[in-house]
Structure 1
């Protein structure tokens, strides 16, 4: 089965991007192939895609040889995705549902990559969920995710910058994150109001003795009141001020001045209690 261009598929099925679902469709097949190439060789590899919509990125992943499991909550898109599945026999499984309520670990027996043009309204929540948990390394081998450029910059930012915050620490303490590609708003239908960027994340060994739950609580407190000194922002966490003293970290500093390593060391001290 030969598929029509994605623009024609959208027209045939009367699809329009839903603002409520955070949808923006990518139609440029060359661009989509470039995105599908970011994780590396996907031949016979399992890939999870969130929010495939009419299936533009899905096609690119399938052309790259991946076995794709796609989660789509918009029933309007299912007939278009069924056509894609017919064109690539045995390579595509479509699950109708809300990705925020589905544990990817239940979908795969082994490692898998996540590649997605994430819906803007749930992208950050999905990302922090995948980065969390004590079990590490994770079952996913890499994340290749489209975000609003502002969110992408927050993920890869360094300390003492305006973008640096909780998202950077949670993304970088046990993984490597980089912006792999910037995507102009004009590439989407309809064009969003903001620019986009693709973040590629790969896990690295986690520092020993650090509880991810403790680190999450610490960064939530520290950056929840980022204009306040640490002695005010983290004082509600038992043992936090004592940990700062033991590590020689001045409690008059503010959260954005601490490196990812310093946050990890504080969390390690608290985890040992």
Structure 2
């Protein structure tokens, strides 16, 4: 009900009334620009039939926009107890369309909160200090396809570039790019100036969209995660060296099974190559070929 939302006081007044100075320890940077928050909300459209998970709503700028743009329901996860009363004021105007959950998003089972409600998606100006950890957790969701149909998330521009990077962009390409583009189609939607935030961060931010692939290349998420962590953890070294700890001292055989040269470096291997490498590690662990893999075409 946009009319009731319009009667709420301006966000700056809410912040002042509740003493909500942004805390660096919580990675908080608040958005007060209503045009910008509405633009972010529209990027997550269509909202009319969707349950939206918002992480770190703070005083509720984006929360208001999601509701005003017609979200069927918003579930706001907030660990800062100072913000709960401000969010409760929004909830009181929304006839049950806003549910506020007090807690840490890193430890909350979001799938359980959503239940059978579909479609469900995540739209958030993520707290910068946990943004990458949250994304990695969502990308490793099992089973796949996941409970969410889309992720629309704000990151620092540098992190956004790491999410969408390909091997041709060696400086940005790494573990996060492999995990993201293995299971999702990714793109940067638009940039946001530091001046849009309070307090302004020192860097530009970007809104990123990740759409889950219904049938990503088949491998175990946990294995791919370990392989990419080892490979990019020593990215200047050849893979035969950086993967030694995973291969029991000799990675040459595993690399050969994956069809990858032992002298290659992590930044030279595309997503499909890392999937083959993860599968080769799985095969070696089981001691037998991985039949019935359900492999699909390259992403």
Q: TM-score, normalised by structure 1?
A: 0.96
* Residue 267 (structure 1) shift: 1.5
For the structure 1 residues 166 and 13, does the alpha-carbon distance in structure 2 shift closer, same or farther, using more than 3 Å as the test?
same
Query: Matches of 2:282 and 2:41 in 1, distance apart?
Result: 39
Report which stretch shifted further, 132-141 or 53-62. 132-141
- Equivalenced residue count is 273
Query: Matches of 1:60 and 1:113 in 2, distance apart?
Result: 15
Query: Matches of 1:100 and 1:248 in 2, distance apart?
Result: 37
| Residue in structure 1 matching 2:10, options 5, 29, 43 | 5
Instruction: Check if 1:258 corresponds to 2:263.
Output: no
Report which stretch shifted further, 110-119 or 237-246. 237-246
Gaps of 5+ in 1: none
Query: Matches of 2:160 and 2:24 in 1, distance apart?
Result: 21
| Residue in structure 2 matching 1:128, options 136, 158, 163 | 136
Query: Matches of 1:147 and 1:248 in 2, distance apart?
Result: 35
Gaps of 5+ in 2: 287-299
Q: Secondary structure at the residue paired with 2:210?
A: strand
Alpha-carbon displacement from aligned partner over 1:29-79 (angstroms, at most 9, x marks no partner): 111011001122101310101110000000001012210011111111111
Q: TM-score, normalised by structure 2?
A: 0.88
Matches within 5 A, 1:46-125: 46-66=51-71, 67-110=73-116, 111=118, 112-125=120-133
Q: Secondary structure at the residue paired with 2:149?
A: strand
Query: Matches of 1:248 and 1:171 in 2, distance apart?
Result: 23
Alpha-carbon displacement from aligned partner over 1:183-213 (angstroms, at most 9, x marks no partner): 0000001101111111110100344541111
Instruction: Check if 1:183 corresponds to 2:192.
Output: yes
Matches within 5 A, 1:5-44: 5-44=10-49
* C-alpha RMSD of matched pairs (Å): 1.4
